[in-house]
Amino acid sequence: MNAHRRQLVSLAHPVYLSLLASVASGIINTVWVSRLGGAAVAAVAVATTTENVLLGVALVFASGTTVLVAHARGARDPAALWAAVRGGWALGGLVTPVVVGAGFLLRAPLARLVLGGHGAAAPRLATAYFAISLPGMAVFFAQQLVDGILKGTGNTRTPMRLALLANGLILLCDPVLIHLYGVRGAAASTVLCRCVALTVGVRALVRDAQLRTAAEAAPAEPVPAALRRTLTTGLPMSADFTVRQGGALVLVALVARLGVPAVAGYSIAYKVMYVVTMAFYSVRQAAAIHTAHTRGAGQDAHRAIGRQAVLLAAALGLTAAVLFAATAPWIMAAFGAGPEVAHQGVLFLRCVGPYLLLMACVVAVGGVFEGSGGAPALLRVTVLGTAVQLPLAHALGGLGLPGVCLASALAMAVQGGVVAVLLRRARRQEGEVSLVRVA
């Protein structure tokens, strides 16, 4: 196996397992809450969706710190590594109180805004959930930063273990606390179990040999400068995630115009797709970390890393496309979907293959951009793709879910074409620089 591919697989599979654990616990959480009635399910669904949006905020300091720590680790520069860690904690400490405080104060208006059309019970329950979950975002944000630091050092296994610990505890505590305290119990279970994982994660940071060595060195720059560097590095990655999430929400609204069976089938199929798309994003994280390591070490390996990342993700995408096409009826049956909903879900899963393959390649190569400082360019590509996808989905909506798949595939093809142009341009510029040096 190619050395770069081997390293990508080594870094990616723990990331994937941690993401998968989070999704699994969310599904189990919904199962337990569903016993409380439809209003409770709606309230928790909205609250957890809000948390996914706030994850984009956490990426500002978590992903920024990962890239800076990885670069310093590759350069074997303890002073730069410690500065990156301090910058991450400083930015996280600045952002977290603002998000937690504003969210807590606005919890009732937020619940009414999103659930205003679902009677009085659902907004009331969502407000109760927010009263615990939004202060608990401080724990969630801190855990994201701990994971980001560890990933930057090349350790993706410890974040995986922390995710398995937190989500395993949630599975044990959910039935008890939800039975005793209802929706509040679901929020309390999540926050308390994350506190346990955060405690273990902080201990892992303290025991990490690379970080202990770095802590003994004088930081390469003061905290304000390190904070600005983290913000500059992480903001494009955060914005990229936010744009993708926003586009996905708008797409759901467009699909809803096709009727209840279509949006229900689409929602089930999209949840199934998470199992695959998370694999693409784990390859992306691995490519970002590996690229930053090699750049820090003074090696120009981004083309080789990008090639292996694309090959690995494309193999995953192609396998998923074939499996979805072959097993779509059984997948929808497993979710207990009715005939009309199952028909729409099967149709979507059998048409989504080209989009998955293109998405795999674009997402994977994005890690090379992030690890080499090209995240702003990648953000512009994402904005362009979203701007193409949504109008196309609206225009092709008359074709039903196959039209939505076609719009998504065409938009992803546009993104892939722009990324290829950017890569060729970067290669040409590097060649010109090399010629100048030789001359």
DSSP state string for 197-234: HHHHHHHHHHH-HHHHHHHTSPPSS-HHHHHHHHHHHH
Q: What is the pLDDT of residue 439?
A: 42
Q: What is the pLDDT of residue 314?
A: 92
Please say if the pLDDT value at position 435 is more than 50: no
Residues 73, 289 contacting (CB under 8 angstroms): no
Please say if the pLDDT value at position 386 is more than 80: yes
Q: What is the pLDDT of residue 58?
A: 86
Question: What tens digit of pLDDT does each residue of 193-237 get?
Answer: 999 999 999 999 999 888 888 888 888 888 899 999 999 988 888
Q: What is the pLDDT of residue 116?
A: 58
Residues 201, 147 contacting (CB under 8 angstroms): yes
Neighbours of 438 (CB within 10 A): 6
- Taking the C-alpha atoms of residue 397 and residue 406, their distance in angstroms, rounded to an integer, is 10
Give me the chain's average pLDDT, please. 83
Please say if the pLDDT value at position 436 is more than 60: no
pTM for the structure as a whole: 0.81
Q: CA dihedral in degrees (45, 49, 50, 54; nearest 10)?
A: 150
Neighbours of 421 (CB within 10 A): 11
**Nearest-CA neighbor of 64 among 179, 252, 231?**
231
- E strand or H helix that includes residue 184: helix 183-207
Residues 50, 127 contacting (CB under 8 angstroms): no
Going by the DSSP 8-state scheme, the letter that residue 338 receives in this structure is: -
Q: Which residues contact 378 (CB under 8 A, 6 or more apart)?
A: 236, 240, 366, 369, 370, 419
Considering 21-25, 269-273, 355-359, the range whose residues carry the highest mean pLDDT is: 355-359
**Nearest-CA neighbor of 303 among 118, 171, 428, 128?**
428
Q: What is the pLDDT of residue 432?
A: 43
- Taking the C-alpha atoms of residue 364 and residue 115, their distance in angstroms, rounded to an integer, is 36
- Taking the C-alpha atoms of residue 230 and residue 221, their distance in angstroms, rounded to an integer, is 12
Q: What is the pLDDT of residue 433?
A: 38
Please say if the pLDDT value at position 162 is more than 80: yes
Q: Taking the CA of residue 340 as centre, how many other CA atoms within 13 Å lie in the half-sphere pointing to its CB?
A: 7
Please say if the pLDDT value at position 104 is more than 90: no
DSSP state string for 299-333: ---HHHHHHHHHHHHHHHHHHHHHHHHHHHHHHHH
Measure Cα distances from 274 to 83, 250, 389 in Å: 35, 18, 19
Please say if the pLDDT value at position 152 is more than 80: yes
Residues 408, 393 contacting (CB under 8 angstroms): yes
Q: For the residues 408-419, what does the mean pLDDT come to? A: 91
- Taking the C-alpha atoms of residue 269 and residue 437, their distance in angstroms, rounded to an integer, is 53
Q: For the residues 403-414, what does the mean pLDDT come to? A: 90
Q: What angle do CA 177, 178, 182 make, to 5 degrees?
A: 120
Q: What is the pLDDT of residue 265?
A: 77
- Taking the C-alpha atoms of residue 300 and residue 298, their distance in angstroms, rounded to an integer, is 7
Q: What is the pLDDT of residue 34?
A: 66
Please say if the pLDDT value at position 13 is more than 90: no
Question: What tens digit of pLDDT does each residue of 318-341 get?
Answer: 999 999 889 988 888 876 667 887
**Nearest-CA neighbor of 61 among 103, 19, 96, 100?**
96
Q: For the residues 150-157, what does the mean pLDDT come to? A: 89
Q: For the residues 387-404, what does the mean pLDDT come to? A: 87
Question: What tens digit of pLDDT does each residue of 49-98 get?
Answer: 677 777 788 888 898 899 899 888 888 888 989 999 999 999 999 999 99
- E strand or H helix that includes residue 76: none
Tokens 């999209």 sit on residue = 270
Q: What is the pLDDT of residue 138?
A: 93
